[in-house]
Structure 1
Amino acid sequence: MTWPRAFREVLWSGLKIEETRLEPLLALRTAVGVALVIAAALWLGSPAYAASAALGAFSAGGATFQRTWRPRKVIALGAGVGLALSTLVGYLAAGQLATFLPLLALWTFVAGLAWAVGSTAGIVAATTVGSMLVTITLPTSVGRALEHAGIIALGGVVQAVLILLFPIRRWGAHRDALADALAAVADYARQLRHDPTARFDPEPLMTARDAAAVTPSQARTRPAALHGPRGLAERILPAIAALADPDVGAPAEGPGRDRARELLDGAADVLDAAARSIRRGTPVEVPHKTVDLLRGNEVLEGPARQAAERLAGLLGEALELAECGNAHRRMPAQHGPAGTQFLVRPTLFRLIPVTVRAVRRELRHDSPVFRHAVRLAAVATLGYLIAARLPLGHGYWAPIASVMVMRPDFHRTYARAVARLAGTLVGVVLATGVVRGLGPDAHVFGALAVVSAGLSYTLVRTGYAYSQCFTAAYVVFLLGMGGQAWEQTVPERMVLTLLGGALAILAYAVFPAWETPRLPERLADWLAANGRYAAAVLRNYAEPTRERRADMRSAQLASRKARAAWQEAYDRAKQEPVRPRGLTSREAEEAQEALEGFDRAATLMENRVPQDDNPFALQAKGLAKALETDTAQAAADMLEHRDPDWGRVENALQAWKGADARSPGLRREADLQKRALEDLATAVSRTPLERDVGSVREEQRVREAVEAEGGGSGPAHRGG
């Protein structure tokens, strides 16, 4: 992607609004929290205290809109404490530039490393930097600094109390995650009706599993509807894939294929009904004709009939779980290791060693998180120094603009920078006109600030440019409430915001962390993880024990995690204005398709894994070892630009075919895996010289496509 096209992409991404991501009730409740603290501070204190209180309530409220599975009130309290601490520490060091600059650099560096824990931690940590820069200008003594820190923390407490008193869709995010997983499997069933070899994206199942991890206190209050259906979705997935596959399931044509399509359609309807029930907390509503459709599979034979019967049983379990789960009953709490039936999420205190380990893993030069932390610290310090030298007041706006837009990857950094600059300029101009027209009135400006905060919250998850427009207006109204003349604040904010955004954009260009060069490494990791998963499935046929089934599940999760890492890197690489290195776009697409086919074959195998302790195919153990060894070696070979070799797999397959005639279906699935590996070798097997030539050709192809797109006068012209 070229730089001009990259800028067009990021511009439109900041202007796009998705109605499904709007949460007006949550925005209203959070805005009420801001209103309460502003009103109380104006009544009992001064405009300066009101500004501190408003900052704490606004930032703590904004933190609750981040994607996290912990209770929102905990996030609000944590954000309030972090904001108060940064304010107090910043004020103690703010007397001298020699003490404040090192503190600012260290604090922003640690805030950047917080992304190692997750996006929520990274964003909340960035807001503490903004609090340090703004509120240290308000107190006049250490005692006053303590007061302002307490007021800021109080803003987080108010937001937490409102969440506790007025819950809105409690467990709603968890319900949505589970419902999305069931709906994704339903969509996959419908795809299989028309394309029996369609691929499934496991991301919704991964999200649902992440949402299912709870702390012991959450487990005591979690609704019954959130227990069980996710595991059923995991078991239904290979059943519908096996039923639809023409090689190991229903025949490609004839009555058997028609019956398979009916079952897939009925499965989709049942899963959609269960998803709606879980999402809304209402009884399951499935038409009787759909339930009747799942009965009777005499037209199917062999493995196809087994898959159909297994699918019908699983769908019945799904309906029973959904009906019981939405009967307004709670699951009994589990105690002790033997009784624990939930995925454990560490409490805040136990999260400390987890955080330390996560940060330690990122302390390396090639880590995107580490490079983000370095960029963040350098830009914040440089922006503060430059602004201090300019003949302008309120120099903190430059580093704040940089810190709030910077992210570990190129696309989000540039998208947020462009959106923030555009939204800030528009918001400042509009709010300034209102301030000049109304004249000084603290109560009116406080009310306008609350309205602006509510609109900003409404759009915070989509349409970032519009959200920043209202955020900028919120700040202008707060300054007006404090009595600061617009001539001394608004022009300065515009200039310094432009400076901060420019520094953020320049920092990524000078010290980037591109994903494009990392694609071969991500692909190799995915291949090795897929090999371990396929080997774990095969070992279950030779040694079907509980331990083997646990190993299979662990390997499957690791494979999905590696696939998600590849997909994230590939999506980012497509948005980067960087020449392809190691893999061209076409090679990456072909390699991804091959590995998806390999993973799909392992999923088909998983459907018929023995549920008892009786071995089904002892020869599968040899193929498992060959697969694990060859894929691990091929992963290393790909990184060294050597061609993959599947000799061990080929020999193991030949030995299996000559020694065992009891499992033709399983061998057909193994052949599917072998063909997928051959397709992967075809996609990546090229000499370094050919690869460099391919990269140049890919770059030329993209450039010609961009020029052709720019030469037209719009979609109609290009279509002609």
Structure 2
Amino acid sequence: MTWLRAFVEVVRSGLMIEETRLEPLLALRTATGVAFVVGLTLWLISPAYAASAALGAYSAGGATFQRTWRPRKVIALGAGAGLAFSTFVGYLAAGRLVTFLPLLAVWSFAAGMAWAVGSTAGIVAATTVGSMLVTITLPTSVGLALEHAGVIALGGVTQAVLILLFPIRRWGAHRDALADALAAVADYARRLKHDPTAPFDPEPLTRARDAAGVTPSQARTRPPVLHGPRGLAERIRPVVATLADPHVGAPAEGPGRDRARELLDATAEILDAAARSIRRGTPVETRPASTDVLRVDEEHEVLEGPARQTAERLVELLDEALEIAGSGGGTRGKAPAPPGSAGARFLVRPTMIRLVPVVVGAVQRELRHDSPVFRHAVRLAAVVTLGYVIATRLPLGHGYWAPIASVMVMRPDFHQTYARAVARFAGTLAGVALATGMVWALGPDARVFGALAVVSAGLSYTLVRTGYAYSQCFTAAYVVFLLGMGGQAWEQTVPERVALTLLGGVLAMLAYVVFPAWETPRLAGRLADWLAANGRYAAAVLRSYAEPSQKHRADMRRTLLASREARATWQEAYDQARQEPVRPRGLTSREAEEAQEALKGFGRAAMLMESHVPRADGRVFPEAERFAEALETDTAKAAVDVREHRVPDCGHVEEALHAWDDTAAANRSPVVRRAAELQKRALEDLATAVSRTPLERDIGSALEERRMQATAAAEGDGSGTAHRGE
């Protein structure tokens, strides 16, 4: 993608309204918290303290809108404490540039490294940098700095108390994640009716597993319905895939295929009903016709052999799903076992105190030159420091606006940074113009400006998940009203804010050009990691055939999760690389797409094998061990070859497959034989996808670039024609 096309895409995405779910009740509650602290401090103390209180309440409230599985009140308290601490520490060093600049650089670097923990930590940490830059201009002594820090912390406490007193859809995010997982499997079953080899994206299952992690205190109050359905979705997915496969499941045509379609249709309807029940907390409702389909008639059942076993297993799992969701998704029923008791089983999420070593470990893993998080932290520290120095040397007041604009738009990846920079400037320009007109028309009145600031905050919260530019419009208005409440003339603040916001955005965009963290050159490594993880997962499944045991089942689950994580990492890198203005190195877009499809097929084959893993007392297949060794060896070696741009070879897999074919039929499972052949074919497809010579790769890259430019030109002509037609 060229720079021009990348910038056009950035502008389009930055100004686009995202079709996401609005949460007006949450916005109203959070804006109420801002109104409370602003009104209280304005009435009891002064407009300057009200500005500090508004900053704490607004930032802490904004943090609660981030996507996280921790309780919102904990996020609000943590954000308020971080804002208060950064304000006080910043004031202690704010007297001279020689002390403040090093502190600002170190603090900004630490805020950038917070992305190693997750996006929520990174965004909240960025707000503390903004707090340090703004509020050090307010107090005049250490005692007053402590008072301002306390008032800021009060904003976080107020938001937490409101969340506690007025809970809105408690456990709602967790319910949505679990319901989305069930709905994804339902959609998969529905697509398998028409395409027996349809792909499945495990991302909803991964998100549901993330949501299932709870702290000991959360485990005591989690609704019982959130315990079991996630595991059912995990087990149903390979079963429906096996049933639909014409080689190991229902026949391709005839009554058996019709019966399989009936079962898949009933599966989709039942899982959708369970998803609705969990999402809404209402009793599960299904049509009697769907449950009638699940009755397996011993005499008249048309499915035979492995297909019949798969159908019986599917019926068992669906009955279990109906039983779990039958409580209506409410909180009634048996409470979960308390932590530490026998039989207590849940994914443990560390408490805030025990999170410290986890954070330290995550940061240490990212302290390397090629880490996108490390590079983001370096860029953030350099841009914030440089922006502050430049802005303070300009004949403008409020120089902190430039580094604040930078810190709030910068992200570890190119596209988000540029999109947010464009959107922030556009939103700021519109918001400042809107608020300025109102300030000019209404005249100086602290109470009126305070009320308008609260309204602007509420609108910003409402639109925070609709589009960044629109949210920033009301955020800019919010700041202008706060400054007006503090007695600052609008003609002294508005032009400065526009100019300095533009400066901060430009610095953020230039920083990515000077010190980038492109994902395009890393694609081969991400693909190799996914290939190796897939090989370990498939080998673990095969070893469960050779020796069914609890240990091998645990290995199978562990390697499956590692494979999903590697796939998610690849997908994120691939999506980012497609938006970067960088010429492909190592893998062209076509090669990456073909290799991705090959590895999806490889993973599907392992999933087919997983659906028929024998139980501890079932029949074993000793020869599966040899094939597992060959598969793990070849995929590990192929991963090295892909990383070093060599053509991978799967000779050991082919030899092991032939050797297995030569053994007695009793030592072969039809499911494993089918899956093994699919895996061999997937490895061959992968080798074909990445086997082009450097010259062929350069030619292909140039042709792709020309094709994309031609497509863009055609789209532009079509758009122009449409406009002329109008």
Q: TM-score range by the shorter chain?
A: over 0.9
Equivalent pair of 2:133/2:404 in contact (CA under 8 Å)? yes
Counterpart CA distance in 1 for 2:459 and 2:90 is 30
Matches within 5 A, 1:165-564: 165-296=165-296, 298-324=301-327, 325-326=329-330, 328-336=332-340, 338-564=342-568
Q: CA offsets, 1:131-164, max 9 Å, x none? A: 0000000001110000000000000000000000
User: Once the 2 structures are TM-superposed, how far is the Cα of residue 714 of structure 1 from its aligned partner?
Assistant: 4.5
Counterpart CA distance in 1 for 2:409 and 2:437 is 26
Q: Which moved more, 1:636-645 or 1:354-363?
A: 636-645
User: Once the 2 structures are TM-superposed, how far is the Cα of residue 615 of structure 1 from its aligned partner?
Assistant: 4.5
Q: Secondary structure at the residue paired with 2:585? A: coil
What letter matches 1:115 in structure 2? W
User: Once the 2 structures are TM-superposed, how far is the Cα of residue 715 of structure 1 from its aligned partner?
Assistant: 7.7
User: Which structure 2 residue ranges, 5 or more long, are not aligned?
Assistant: none
- Aligned partner (choices 648, 659, 672) of residue 678 of structure 2: 672
Question: Paired residue for 1:145?
Answer: 145
What letter matches 1:5 in structure 2? R
What letter matches 1:554 in structure 2? R
- Aligned partner (choices 652, 658, 666) of residue 654 of structure 1: 658
- The answer on 1:689 being equivalent to 2:688 is no
Question: Paired residue for 2:704?
Answer: 698
Count of aligned pairs: 719
Q: CA offsets, 1:30-61, max 9 Å, x none? A: 00000000000011000000000000000000
Q: CA offsets, 1:219-277, max 9 Å, x none? A: 00000110100000000000100000111111111111111111111100000000000
Q: CA offsets, 1:195-241, max 9 Å, x none? A: 11001000000000000000111000000110100000000000100
Matches within 5 A, 1:82-161: 82-161=82-161
Counterpart CA distance in 2 for 1:128 and 1:8 is 32
Q: Secondary structure at the residue paired with 2:336? A: coil
Change (3 A) 1:238 1:650: same
What letter matches 1:359 in structure 2? V
What letter matches 2:159 in structure 1? Q
Equivalent pair of 2:219/2:339 in contact (CA under 8 Å)? no
Question: Paired residue for 1:583?
Answer: 587
- Aligned partner (choices 612, 636, 641) of residue 637 of structure 1: 641
User: Which structure 1 residue ranges, 5 or more long, are not aligned?
Assistant: none
Counterpart CA distance in 2 for 1:430 and 1:485 is 15
Matches within 5 A, 1:4-153: 4-153=4-153
Counterpart CA distance in 2 for 1:532 and 1:398 is 49
Change (3 A) 1:715 1:76: farther
- The answer on 1:610 being equivalent to 2:614 is yes
Equivalent pair of 2:612/2:671 in contact (CA under 8 Å)? no
Equivalent pair of 2:93/2:100 in contact (CA under 8 Å)? yes
Q: Secondary structure at the residue paired with 1:257? A: helix
Q: Secondary structure at the residue paired with 2:193? A: helix
User: Once the 2 structures are TM-superposed, how far is the Cα of residue 294 of structure 1 from its aligned partner?
Assistant: 1.6
Counterpart CA distance in 1 for 2:671 and 2:477 is 65
Equivalent pair of 1:619/1:660 in contact (CA under 8 Å)? no
Q: Secondary structure at the residue paired with 1:365? A: coil
Counterpart CA distance in 1 for 2:561 and 2:206 is 8
User: Once the 2 structures are TM-superposed, how far is the Cα of residue 477 of structure 1 from its aligned partner?
Assistant: 0.5
- TM-score, structure 2 as length reference: 0.97
Change (3 A) 1:527 1:5: same
Equivalent pair of 2:608/2:671 in contact (CA under 8 Å)? no
- TM-score, structure 1 as length reference: 0.98
Change (3 A) 1:715 1:609: farther
Counterpart CA distance in 2 for 1:253 and 1:81 is 65
What letter matches 2:693 in structure 1? T
Q: CA offsets, 1:536-572, max 9 Å, x none? A: 0000000100000000000000000000000000001
Root-mean-square deviation over aligned CA pairs: 1.4
What letter matches 1:416 in structure 2? R
Equivalent pair of 1:591/1:680 in contact (CA under 8 Å)? yes
Counterpart CA distance in 1 for 2:331 and 2:354 is 34
Equivalent pair of 2:255/2:302 in contact (CA under 8 Å)? yes
User: Once the 2 structures are TM-superposed, how far is the Cα of residue 69 of structure 1 from its aligned partner?
Assistant: 0.4
What letter matches 2:76 in structure 1? A
